[in-house]
Amino acid sequence: MESNNISLVMLGLVRSAAQLGDILDLYKPLQDEGTIDRFRLVTWTDQVDRHPGLRKKLDSHGIELIELPPISVKSHGNIIQQMRQFYHGLLGLGRNTYVLKTRTDLVIDPDFIRILVREKKYREKVITPNRVFHRKIWVPYFEITKPFYISDECFAGYVDDLWQLYNLDSSYDHQYANIGVGITHIRRFIPPFLKQYPLLEDYLNVAGYCGWRKGCERFSYLQHCLQSKVYLAFLAVYYTVLNSHFIVDLRATPNQVQFRLNYMSPSTRVDSKGLVNRMVPPLAWNNSAGGWLYGYDLTWLSNTLGSDVGHDRPHEALLVEIGQELSQRRTSTRELNEFLDVGANVIKISQPQEKIRNVYHNLRHSFGKRFSQ
């Protein structure tokens, strides 16, 4: 199952023919040397011919062009359209094909693509009793405080595993619509792990209140969330899955990925052993990051989940404890009550008094009939 090359699957609209042409030229030497085996572009039927000369350029570069009829389906972040293109990008590729999924408006350093193929660590076997993927999947970043908000702009893995990142589950547009920012990322990466970690079903009901809530002061909210064992349990499962099933790396080469540089730059230094210390300013905050905290490698996670957890690191020790205690089951009503009580305290700090009742009511309503009023 080892790969000497990679298949590149590029998805999306052709927003700029000039930019796309530059990207094709950048990757052409990789095709010529055999690093890129197959190169697919999946887009809509109305995209290519609106740009004179683009079809000829695609042909001259040996690009497999897959054109799909546009569809009009409403979904958060156009995820249904994304999933449809993803499906056709993988369709027909062998299950042991190593694939790099990317976008038409994203640039990946050719030297890093060579590293992906050359270095086996990017596709290590997953070794855990709760194995979901056979091999690890490379992603450039993850959001630290909102579980399963993982980069989906580009990632690499074997087709057999990548098929698990395809789903058209409409519950994310209805039952779980309160997830908020990151919903398109979460609905791609969390479904494969729901069976192994039942606790994640409860997380989906309150994901919009985990880590950060718009209208609340970012770090006051986070510090109060960290008082909840339920929230720490969500983090414990998330960090365990990241550590066992993913390779997170945006530091292998300079300018490794160029896309929305406001959050793809190394503004979050999560390389210490301190869980809380690296979640507060100034070490983990950059105003241009839009309120979210991103990790660009797994050093911090490996340290946090390591065997050297001590009493001087209570949050990390608690992560390990509750990860073992709660990750394999659903939360109880009492535990959910405790989490929502923490949420109520945060709302009192961060919002005017007249808004507290409605927001807290929405928090409780998220749990439906399982939650006792």
- In the 3-class helix/strand/coil scheme, how is 7-34 assigned residue by residue? EEEEECCCCCHHHHHHHHHHHHHHHHHC
pLDDT on residue 348: 55
State the pTM of this model: 0.85
| Helices and strands (H and E) in the chain: how many | 14, 11
Burial 111-138 (b: 16+ CB within 10 A, else e): ebbbbbbeeeebbeebeeebebbebbbb
What's the rounded Cα separation, in Å, for the pair 225 and 211? 7
Nearest to 137 by CA among 246, 3, 16: 246
Question: Angle, to 10 degrees, between the axis of helix 229-245 and the axis of helix 333-350?
Answer: 100
Residue 241 CA to residue 243 CA, distance in Å, equals: 5
User: What confidence score (pLDDT) does residue 342 get?
Assistant: 60
> What is the amino acid identity at position 337?
N
pLDDT beneath 70, residues of the chain: 1-2, 75-77, 213-217, 260-291, 300, 303-373
Which of 13, 114, 151, 111 lies closest to 70 in space, CA to CA? 13
Strand partners, 98: 158
